[in-house]
Structure 1
Amino acid sequence: MEISLPKGVRQIIRELNEHGYEAYVVGGSIRDALIGLTPKDYDITTSATPEEVMGIFRKTVPTGIKHGTIQVITADGMYDVTTYRSEGDYVQFRYPTNVIFIDDLVEDLRRRDITINAMAYNTEKGIIDPFNGTEDIRQRLIRAVGNPIERFKEDALRILRAVRLATTLNFNLEASTLQAIVETMDGLRFISVERIREELNGILLSDNPSRGISMLFHLGIMKLVLPEIMPMAMFNQHNPHHDKDVLHHTLEVLENTPKALDLRLAALLHDTGKPTAFTVDDHGIGHFYGHEKHSARIAREILQRLKYDNHTTDTVTTLIAHHMVSLDMKNEVKIKRFILSVGKENVAALLDLKTADHVGKPDSSGAKLYEISAFRHRIQKILDRGDPLVIKDLAVNGQDIMNLGLREGRQVGEILKSLLDHVLKDPSLNEKYTLLNLAQKELLHDK
């Protein structure tokens, strides 16, 4: 089988070959090409040492020279070129104590994690597949290279990579590989939260995120990844509006959200507060009053622990905190205040979350979907009109208010908020002269 390679990749392999060295494309790009996916990047492996690679190519960057990786710059892009290597013993379930450069491709492939990632290719030799990765692709299996327990003890992050690949490719975990994951998962305690976060993101942004989250629960891994959401599992809601436990409802919501990280995180975490908020009335019906506030708090703790950026954390918690908003809201001033509290940039995502949340319930009739659509239309009508919604939309600013004789910043802010309240009720007031007159009256009243 011939695999199409970018011009820069072909150039690098050709020049290394002309200087007497072996060179192949390796890893995920070969896997993706064989599956029929477009590779995201191309890594090259070679028998040349890092110093020899830098001697051959004019434009290089020693990005990871300690581990044998040199970045080669070509006319059509930059590509990592890594020397064949073997690795010494691993420490802390992640890092090899030393790296040894070798000249044997098969030994280099032997150190890799999953068989479908342990293949190499060049146009002259074709596919080099010593661990039957092509057969595992045909069988749709995720199988560790060699002894799976050894592979996962070397680097526990490979456990999450295996789950992510099984999720994104819709493959199954091979039996011995699955068993090894269960036996070695405690090694994940040594993995940085940043690495765990990136693998979680990969699962959430797949075409079938609920399958990946389910696997983390069923394998017992979730207690090491997101222990805060464990109480959702098998939590019976005892409510006629919910025919699933909290976890299975969450999985259905997750599956019905668009592929955006903020939204998928909000879907995963939107009901984490239900076990905390749960009460039962005199008729044996379960209720979750205020669970959205508990959920937003738990979500913020999770996102901060996993070191998500502030924007992501704030967006996700905002979506969760408002996901129970009433759809009956028709008063435009209330709708404007709602938009202000959520943020114009988050309104569409919140309504997408509301839609997915409804689809995940037994009563998924068109009536509720119509309500969501109508609410979306009322909001969009306001946005399309361009009505002032935030302080920066006002025809005056803080300096204008200070020019009236104020010095205290807090009072300036209070007046601006008051002016915005006037403008939310009547957009025609948003003229500089009118607002300054209103501000002057506020000042006189305060005196």
Structure 2
Amino acid sequence: MDITLPKGVGYIIKELNKNGHEAYVVGGCIRDILIGRPPKDYDITTSADPDEVIRIFRKTIPTGIRHGTVGVVTTDGIYDVTTYRADGEYINSRYPANVIFIDDLVEDLRRRDITINAIAYNTEKGIIDPFDGTSDIRGKIIRAVGNPILRFKEDALRILRAIRLATTLNFNIEEKTLFGIVETMDGLQFISVERIREELNTILLSETPSRGISMLFQLGVMKYVVPELMPMAVFSQFNPHHDKDVLGHTLDVVDHVPAKLHLRLAALFHDCGKPGTFTVDRNGTGHFYGHEKRSVEIAEATLFRLKYDRKTIKKVLALIDNHMVSLDMKNELKLKKLIRRLDKENINDLFELKTADFVSKPESSGTKLFEISALRDRMMEIIERKDPLEIRDLAVSGQDVMNLGIREGREVGRILNTLLEKVLKDPKLNHKETLLDIARKELQE
């Protein structure tokens, strides 16, 4: 099989061969090419040790030289070149205590996690596949290399990688590999939250994220990933507006929102507060009054624990907090305050979330979809009119207010907020002299 490699990759392999060393493209890039997906990057493995790689190439970067990796700079990019190696004993289910450089490609491939990631290629030798990863690609199977329990005990992050690959590739996890995950998942307690977060993000941004999230729950792995979501599992709603339990509904919503991280996170957490707010009325109907506020509390604590950036957290919390907003809202002052709570950039995302929330329920009428669209249109009309919505939109500044003789910062803020409240009710008041007159009257009271 002939595979077209980037110019820089071909150059690196050719130079290593010319100097008496083996060299192959390896891992995820070959897997993706065989599946028919464009590779995200290309990794090269070689029998040359790091010092030899540095000697051969004019410009290199010691990106991970302790583990045998050198970045080689070419005309079309920087490519990682890693020496064949065997890993020493692993520490805390994550990192090898030491690595041993070897000169055997098959032994290097043997230490890798999944068979479809243990395939090598160069133009001279073609495909090198000692663990039959190509058959697993054809069979759509995720299979650990060798003994899955040993693989996952060495590095527990491989558990999440296996689930992530099964999700993003729409593959099944082979039976022994599945049992290996269940047997060794306790090792995930040693994995950093940053690594867990990145695997979760990739699952959420896949074509069908519900599949990966379901696997995390079904295998019991979720208790190490986002334990805060565990109460949603098999929690019946006892409500005519829902034909699924809380988790089942949530998975539908996650699948129905566009693949934007903050939106998928908002969908994942939007109902997580339901188990903690559940009540049953005298007719046996379940209710979840104020669940959106409880969901915000859970999401905020969880996202900070997983070290998401503050901008993402703010967007997620705004969407969750407002996902139950009434569709009958017509009062412009209330609409403007809703826009302010959301920020303009989140309005379309809110309605994506509300639409996904609705279509994931058993209701069949299109009336609700029309109402969602109509509320969005009312809000967009206010924005397009460019009505003042923030203090920065006022025709006066903090300095203007201070020029009236106020020096205390809190009082300046109070006056500006009072002016904004009046302008929200009547945008025609937004003229400098008019606002200053109002401010003077406020000071006299």
**Corresponding residue number in structure 2 for 1:186:** 186
Deviations 1:198-220 (A, max 9, x none): 11111101001000010111111
Q: Which residue of 2 aligns with 1:102?
A: 102
Partner of 1:361: 361
Q: Contact conserved, 1:88 with 1:99, CA < 8 A, in 2? A: yes
Task: State the alpha-carbon separation in 1 of the partners of residues 235 and 41 from structure 2.
Answer: 42
Q: 1:406 maps to what in 2?
A: 406
Is contact 1:71–1:80 with CA below 8 Å preserved after alignment?
Answer: yes
1:384 pairs with 2:384: yes
Q: Hey, what's the Cα distance between the residues in 2 that align with 1:12 and 1:22?
A: 11
Task: Indicate if the aligned counterparts of 1:46 and 1:82 stay in contact, CA closer than 8 A.
Answer: yes
Q: Aligned pair 1:16/2:19, yes or no?
A: no
Instruction: Tell me how far apart the structure 2 counterparts of residues 394 and 180 of structure 1 sit (CA, whole Å).
Output: 62
Q: Do residues 394 (structure 1) and 370 (structure 2) align? A: no
Deviations 1:210-246 (A, max 9, x none): 0001011111111121111111111111111111111
TM-score (norm 2): 0.98
**CA–CA separation in structure 1 for the residues paired with 2:366 and 2:92:** 53
In 2, the alpha carbon distance for the partners of 1:46 and 1:58 equals 17
In structure 2, list runs of 5 or more residues that go unmatched.
Answer: none
Paired amino acid for 1:362: P
The question of whether the paired residues in 2 share the 8 Å contact of 1:189 and 1:224 is answered with yes
- Deviation of the 1:429 alpha carbon: 2.4
SS at match of 1:73: strand
User: In the aligned structure 1, how far is the partner of 2:64 from the partner of 2:176?
Assistant: 33
Alignment of 1:432 with 2:432, yes or no, is yes
Contact kept? 1:222, 1:230, Cα under 8 Å: yes
Distance 2:370 2:250 in 1: 22
What amino acid sits opposite 2:114 in the alignment?
A: I
* In structure 1, distance between residues paired with 2:76 and 2:432: 54
Aligned to 2:234: 234
Q: Which residue of 1 aligns with 2:174?
A: 174
Contact 1:358 1:364 in 2 (8 A): no
**Residue 149, structure 1, aligned to residue 149, structure 2:** yes
Structure 1 stretch displaced more, 214-223 or 421-430: 421-430
Distance in 2 between the 1:85 and 1:130 partners? 16
Q: For 1:406, give the aligned amino acid.
A: I
The whole-number CA distance in structure 2 between the counterparts of 1:171 and 1:395 is 59
Partner Cα distance (1:211, 1:179) in 2? 18
Residue type at the aligned position of 1:114: I
Q: Distance between the aligned counterparts of 1:6 and 1:385, measured in 2?
A: 51
1:347 counterpart = 2:342: no
**Stretch moving more, 358-367 or 135-144:** 358-367
The Cα shift of 1:299 comes to: 0.7
Matched with 1:325 is 325
More displaced stretch, 157-166 vs 22-31? 22-31
Distance 2:428 2:7 in 1: 60
CA distance in 1, matches of 2:58, 2:365: 64
* Counterpart secondary structure, 2:395: coil
Alignment of 1:63-212 (within 5 A): 63-212=63-212
One-letter amino acid matched to 1:72: V
* Structure 1 counterpart of 2:268: 268
Which SS does the other structure have where 1:54 is aligned? helix
Residue 430 of structure 1, CA deviation = 2.2
Q: 1:116 is aligned with what amino acid?
A: I
Conserved 8 A contact 1:232-1:246: yes
| Within-5 A mapping of 1:213-232 | 213-232=213-232
Which residue in the other structure is 2:287 paired with?
Answer: 287
State the distance in 2 between where 1:392 and 1:58 align.
54
Secondary structure in 1 matching 2:179: helix
Q: Which structure 1 residue ranges, 4+ long, deviate > 3 Å from structure 2? A: none
Deviates more, 1:404-413 or 1:164-173: 404-413
* Aligned match of 1:34: 34
- 3-state SS of paired residue (2:363): coil
1:428 is displaced (CA, Å) by 2.6
Structure 2 equivalent of residue 305 of structure 1: 305
Give how far 1:254 is off. 0.8
Q: Distance in 1 between matches of 2:28 and 2:266?
A: 30
TM-score, normalised to structure 1, is 0.98
Amino acid of the residue matched to residue 381 of structure 1? Answer: E
Q: Return 217-226 or 146-155, whichever deviates more.
A: 217-226
Secondary structure of the residue that 2:81 maps to in structure 1?
strand
Deviations 1:388-430 (A, max 9, x none): 2111122222122112211111111111111111221222322
Query: Does the residue aligned with 1:334 lie in a helix, a strand or coil?
Result: helix
Question: Take 1:181 and 1:141, find their aligned partners in 2: how far apart are those partners?
Answer: 15
Name 1:53's counterpart in structure 2.
53
Aligned AA for 2:118?
A
Query: Structure 2: which amino acid aligns with 1:224?
Result: Y
Give how far 1:364 is off.
3.8
- In 2: Cα distance, 1:18 partner to 1:434 partner: 81
Q: Deviations over 1:168-197 (max 9, x none)?
A: 000000011001111111111111111111
In 2, Cα distance between the equivalents of 1:274 and 1:80?
Answer: 47
Partners in 1 of 2:56 and 2:439 — Cα distance?
72
User: Partners in 2 of 1:142 and 1:422 — Cα distance?
Assistant: 62
The answer for the alignment partner of 2:62 in structure 1 is: 62
Partner of 1:373: 373
Amino acid at match of 1:167: T
Structure 1 position 266, deviation (Å): 0.8
Displacement, 1:431?
2.5
CA displacement, residues 37-56 of structure 1 (integer Å, 9 cap, x when unaligned): 01111111111111111112
Q: How many residues align?
A: 445
Deviations 1:250-306 (A, max 9, x none): 111111010011011111111111111111111111110000000110111111111
The question of whether the paired residues in 2 share the 8 Å contact of 1:21 and 1:48 is answered with yes
Between the aligned partners of 1:272 and 1:221, the Cα distance in structure 2 is 18
Task: Quote the RMSD (CA, aligned, Å).
Answer: 1.1
Residue identity in the other structure for 1:331:
N
Is 211-220 or 418-427 further displaced after alignment?
418-427
CA distance in 2: counterparts of 1:432 and 1:45, whole angstroms: 69
